[in-house]
């Protein structure tokens, strides 16, 4: 296995064929009687128009808190009015157990927002989601995204940002390498996350890559994490920022945009991007077996999510970077050299999430043991 994967994808050769309404069945087995008769098998097409959904309910899985407040105010409240529908918002992560319990043919969500490790786990477990080509054929704004937005194979990545160490400039030295986190002066003043958090998943793989032979060296990662104890352990990134603001943590595993939002508030905080350059992505999937009206609404909501006006407003608020090539970079990031260009992610690294998922049970159990949970 390669120790590094570039966050890029090749040209999607079936795009044009899909737009012409052919090729969707390529490589699939002959449809069963269930597939022929079930509502999901009805042809669904969307091309960017507003339509009357007749009060239909769209079930979505999406983060809560300040994230939900912003997205409702800037996207979904107006969406409900324009399409005469109701958003049923569930923020009680994780999503995988809910999909597994309901089954692929009775999806708990019609559209869902993911971090890649959890998406990979669910994708491996069954035929839950439309593939990228099917989405591209029905979401006009998706065709304006850079090709790396399609690398998951099961959804569209709409926003991303690099992993960093956030550090208090009044208490901590600027990191000079990934290993700066382990400096003895940060004992019980450094912070990471519990084993359910996606930031911990990436940090674990980065630890293996830095301290071991490659990203697959589990034992090196476990030893490095044990050596970093004692640490402050948080469930969520916003909680970690609160601890930094209260001067309880000097250095923490984080993501660029959220950490810089604290700096923008005047807190003495800055960021250092890990030298292995992994990125956190936000990727939306559409359930294959949703009913036709819900599937069409999901296409419409994803299309609006990918609209530059929303992506730019979201970037201004949370400092995430857009994948739509026509969207602007928020002024705060642009002033620090960030650009929205074809090679913007050329140096970024995406850990092998298939490997992580295959070893997730062991990683979770042994991490909990190290953390005393």
DSSP letters spanning 36-104: HHSGGGS-----S-----TTEEEEEE---HHHHHHHIIIIIHHHHHHHTEEEEEE--S--HHHHHHH-T
Q: What is the mean pLDDT of residues 239-267?
A: 95
Tokens of 148: 């790396």
DSSP-derived pairing of the beta strands 56-61 and 85-90: parallel
8 A C-beta contact, residue 313 and residue 297: no
Grouping H, G, I as helix, E, B as strand and the rest as coil, residue 280 is strand
Give the pLDDT of residue 214: 97
Please determine, for residue 84, whether its predicted confidence score (pLDDT) is greater than 90. Answer: yes
Q: Are 76 and 301 in contact (CB under 8 A)?
A: yes
Smallest Cα–Cα separation from 14: which of 125, 106, 150? Answer: 150
Check whether the bond before 94 is cis (ω within 30° of 0): yes
**Highest mean pLDDT out of 3-12, 40-49, 222-231, 347-356:** 222-231
What is the Cβ-side half-sphere exposure of residue 117, based on CA atoms within 13 angstroms? 24
The overall average pLDDT reported for the chain is 89
Q: Does 15-159+281-334 match 160-279+351-371 in CATH topology?
A: yes
Q: What is the CA radius of gyration of the chain?
A: 21
Please tell me which residue, 246 or 26, carries the higher pLDDT value. Answer: 246
Pairing of strands 111-114, 56-61: parallel
Q: Torsion-angle region of residue 320: left (phi > 0), alpha (psi -120 to 50) or beta?
A: beta
Percent of the chain topping pLDDT 70: 88
Which 3 state secondary structure label does DSSP give 165? strand
At residue 52, the pLDDT reads 98
Distance CA 328, CA 235 (A): 31
Q: Residue 98 corresponds to which tokens in the numbers above?
A: 């809910």
Assess whether pLDDT exceeds 60 at residue 20. Answer: no
Tokens at 214, concatenated: 């490659």
pLDDT digits (tens, 9 = 90+) for 293-345: 999 999 999 999 999 999 999 999 999 999 999 999 999 889 878 889 877 76
Can you tell me the mean pLDDT for 72-77?
Answer: 98
Q: Which residue has the tokens 């920022």?
A: 241
Judge if the upstream peptide bond of residue 230 is cis by omega within 30 degrees of 0: yes
> Does position 21 have pLDDT exceeding 50, yes or no?
no
State phi, psi for 349 to the nearest 5 degrees.
-120, 135
3-state SS, residue 24: coil
Q: How confident is the model at residue 1 (pLDDT cuts 50, 70, 90)?
A: very low
160-279+351-371 — its CATH code?
3.40.190.10
The pLDDT value recorded for residue 337 is 83
CA distances from 80 to 37, 50, 160 (A): 30, 11, 26
For the stretch 178-203, pLDDT in tens is 999 999 999 999 999 999 898 999 99
Res 68 pLDDT > 70? yes
Q: How many CB atoms lie within 10 A of CB 77?
A: 12
pLDDT at residue 253 tops 50: yes
CATH class of 15-159+281-334: alpha beta
Strand partners, 250: none
The values of phi and psi at residue 145, to 5°, are -90, 155
pTM (2 d.p.): 0.79
What is the rounded distance in angstroms from the CA atom of residue 261 to the CA atom of residue 319?
A: 7
> Mean pLDDT, to the nearest integer, of 29-41?
46
Q: Where are the domains of the chain?
A: 15-159+281-334, 160-279+351-371
**111-114 and 279-286 beta bridge pairing:** antiparallel
Q: Is the pLDDT of residue 274 over 80?
A: yes
pLDDT of 42: 67
Residue 359 has φ and ψ, to the nearest 5°, of: -115, 15
Q: 41 pLDDT band (50/70/90 cuts)?
A: low
Give me the pLDDT at residue 40, please.
58
What share of the chain in percent tops pLDDT 90? 77
């Amino acid at each position: 296995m390669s120790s590094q994967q570039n966050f890029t994808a090749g040209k999607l050769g079936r795009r044009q064929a899909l737009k012409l309404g052919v090729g969707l069945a390529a490589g699939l087995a002959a449809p069963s009687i269930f597939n022929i008769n079930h509502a999901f098998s009805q042809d669904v097409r969307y091309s960017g128009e507003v339509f009357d959904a007749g009060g239909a309910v769209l079930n979505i899985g999406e983060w809560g808190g300040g994230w939900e407040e912003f997205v409702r105010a800037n996207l979904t409240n107006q969406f409900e009015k324009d399409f005469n529908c109701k958003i049923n918002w569930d923020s009680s992560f994780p999503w995988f157990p809910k999909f597994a319990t309901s089954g692929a043919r009775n999806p708990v969500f019609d559209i869902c927002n993911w971090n890649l490790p959890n998406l990979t786990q669910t994708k491996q477990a069954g035929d839950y989601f439309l593939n990228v080509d099917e989405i591209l054929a029905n979401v006009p704004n998706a065709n304006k995204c850079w090709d790396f937005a399609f690398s998951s194979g099961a959804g569209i990545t709409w926003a991303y940002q690099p992993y960093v160490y956030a550090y208090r400039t009044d208490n901590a030295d600027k990191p000079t390498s990934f290993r700066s986190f382990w400096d003895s002066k940060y004992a019980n003043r450094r912070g990471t996350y519990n084993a359910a958090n996606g930031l911990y998943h990436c940090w674990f793989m980065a630890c293996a890559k830095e301290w071991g032979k490659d990203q697959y060296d589990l034992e090196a990662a476990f030893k490095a994490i044990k050596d970093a104890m004692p640490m402050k352990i948080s469930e969520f990134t916003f909680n970690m920022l609160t601890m930094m603001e209260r001067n309880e943590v000097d250095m923490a595993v984080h993501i660029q945009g959220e950490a810089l939002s604290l700096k923008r508030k005047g807190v003495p905080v800055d960021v250092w991007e890990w030298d292995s350059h992994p990125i956190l992505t936000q990727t939306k999937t559409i359930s294959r077996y949703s009913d036709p009206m819900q599937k069409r609404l999901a296409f419409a909501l994803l299309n609006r999510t990918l609209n530059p006006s929303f992506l730019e407003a979201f970037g201004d608020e949370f400092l995430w970077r857009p994948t739509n090539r026509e969207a602007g970079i928020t002024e705060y990031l642009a002033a620090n050299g960030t650009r929205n260009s074809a090679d913007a992610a050329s140096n970024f690294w995406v850990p092998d999430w298939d490997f992580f998922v295959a070893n997730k049970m062991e990683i979770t159990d042994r991490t909990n043991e190290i953390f005393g949970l």
